[in-house]
Amino acid sequence: MKIGVIVDRRALRHWQVELGNRLRDAGHEVHTIRREAALAMAGVELAGMIESRVYTLGQNRAGSLVDSAETASGLEAAPSFAADLTIDTIGALRPADMTGPVLTPLFDGVAGEAAAVTPLLSRRSPELVVELRTEKKASIVVRGLAATPESGSLLRSFDRVCERICDLLVQGVARFAAGALDGALSEPAKVGAAPALASAVAFASRGVAQKIAMRLARPLIKDEHWRIAWRRTRGDAISQTLAWPPSDFTFLPDDGTRFYADPFVVWRDGLAYVFCEEYPYATGKGVISLFTIDEKGVASTPRVIIDRPYHLSYPFIFERDGETFMIPETSGNNTIELYRARSFPDDWEFVRVLVSDVNAGDATLIERDGRFWIFAALSDGERSTWDTLGIFHAPALEGPWQAHTQNPVLIDAGCARPAGRMFEFGGALIRPAQDCRTGYGVGLALCRIDRLDPDEFGQSVVRRFGPPPGTGEHGLHTLNDSGPYEVIDTKGWRRQF
């Protein structure tokens, strides 16, 4: 397929170059067409000059400008070039200019890069949409929501949005080529308003001040301290009601030199066995630990049961054919690995690598419709794992495993990354997911799976939760239950004196 990619004559960015290269790698003939964008990004570029004095920013970031001398060769399309599809990355085309189908990225429903920056000034990621326009209709091909982990940096947040709009455009082209064009009628695209110069500079200045303040406070306070909590249920588990329970949670004590997170619970013989990540701050590497809770709610001291040369977390545990298995997160080894209990609960053996050469976080397994499915947060090692969901499937637990044809099946910081075991509710399959719209692990989204097969996936968010009321915590990360116990983990503050 012949594709024309419209970019700003004055400002070519690295994500646009990546887009062209990925489309060429997919077998398309790609020509870059330079036009003049309606609005410049001068305010953002000036903010970048301020931020670069404090933040470590590389030269080849997704949103950074490409040296024209490096890219002048072969970028201009010949006047006679007839594209099968045009991608207007800057919102330069008007309806009268269209000579064929056009894909346009929209940021909060608005075309043009400036529209991506405006919500970032309020520390909010814009809704990302790829719109397809033909002579007869306009439709939404794919949607997404980028995670912005470095929300205090305007340019790094802009980079994250650029990375994800590039991914969505690649998906949009694939769907166009496959004829999968069904979508809702969209409103006419609007050209974005330019971000105010003063607003961009003020944002960058605030970011610098906040970064300095955090550096000064770091000896006293460390964020991201996770704690595990549990409660005894009486028919009011979240998986049974999709609502916050009325009773309080009990927190697992820790000495402040480590955190415990990612709890999975198995109820057996009158004990709740809780498997979790233990992360000692001194080593900076996670291990899998275990503690028990008896019928009176008394917890034992956690003990390490699996330690590998690489980081371990999220010990997804399940039972099958009379045996107990675990799939811990092993993204640090670029694998998804299967373990078996030789002697439950302490003695575990490595069985095999299920999926290799993949950066997959929080792998969560389910058996459905005669197949095994693994849901995981995917990353290429550079992009965030907060906002991307991938799926792998196999006819048997041992494999062979293969990737879903649409991977990543979802780009959405509000409901992508897995957050616990799936469960049935009212005849529907519910998937807990992390809500990372305003930060990592700030809340949970309970998602109803509407479609799951090797070629398609769909889900709908039915509930969202923050941390338990009255706890003073500011994050909620994982949800699981078994027997009479429900376990979660929350994020708070750790003080160092």
Query: CA separation (Å) from 324 to 92, 371, 384, 400?
Result: 58, 19, 32, 20
Q: 314 and 384: one domain?
A: yes
The DSSP line for 438-455 is SSTTSEEEEEEEEEESSS
Q: 96 and 138: one domain?
A: yes
Of 217, 250, 269, the residue that ends a domain is 217
Of 178, 198, 217, the residue that ends a domain is 217
Q: 202 and 331: one domain?
A: no
CA-to-CA distance for 435 and 18, rounded, in angstroms?
A: 28
For residues 14-21, average pLDDT: 94
Q: 311 and 392: one domain?
A: yes
Q: Which residues contact 327 (CB under 8 A, 6 or more apart)?
A: 315, 316, 318, 336, 337, 338, 339, 354, 363, 365, 374
Q: Say if CB 242 and CB 447 are below 8 A apart.
A: no
Number of domains making up the chain:
2
For residues 251-264, average pLDDT: 94
Instruction: Write the single-letter amino acid at 326.
Output: M
Q: 155 and 233: one domain?
A: no
Q: 176 and 293: one domain?
A: no
Q: What are phi and psi of 139, to 5 degrees?
A: -145, 155
Q: 368 and 322: one domain?
A: yes
Q: 213 and 229: one domain?
A: no
Q: 177 and 28: one domain?
A: yes
| Cα distance between the two ends of the chain | 63
For residues 185-213, average pLDDT: 53
Ramachandran quadrant class, 159 (left: phi over 0; alpha: psi -120 to 50; beta: rest): alpha
pLDDT digits (tens, 9 = 90+) for 351-390: 999 999 999 999 999 999 999 999 999 998 788 899 999 9
Three-class DSSP category at 249: coil
CATH number of residue 230's parent domain = 2.115.10.20
Q: 62 and 95: one domain?
A: yes
Strands 2-8 and 29-35: parallel
pLDDT digits (tens, 9 = 90+) for 429-478: 999 999 999 999 999 999 999 999 999 999 999 999 999 888 888 899 99
Largest CA distance in the chain: 79
Q: 161 and 250: one domain?
A: no
Q: Say if CB 83 and CB 4 are below 8 A apart.
A: yes
Tokens of 188: 């006419």
Q: What is the pLDDT of residue 73?
A: 40
Range of the domain at 490: 225-495
Q: What are phi and psi of 154, to 5 degrees?
A: -65, -45
Higher-confidence residue of 223 and 333: namely: 333
pLDDT digits (tens, 9 = 90+) for 392-414: 999 999 999 999 999 999 999 99
pLDDT at 36 over 70: yes
Of 200, 217, 234, the residue that ends a domain is 217
Q: 42 and 23: one domain?
A: yes
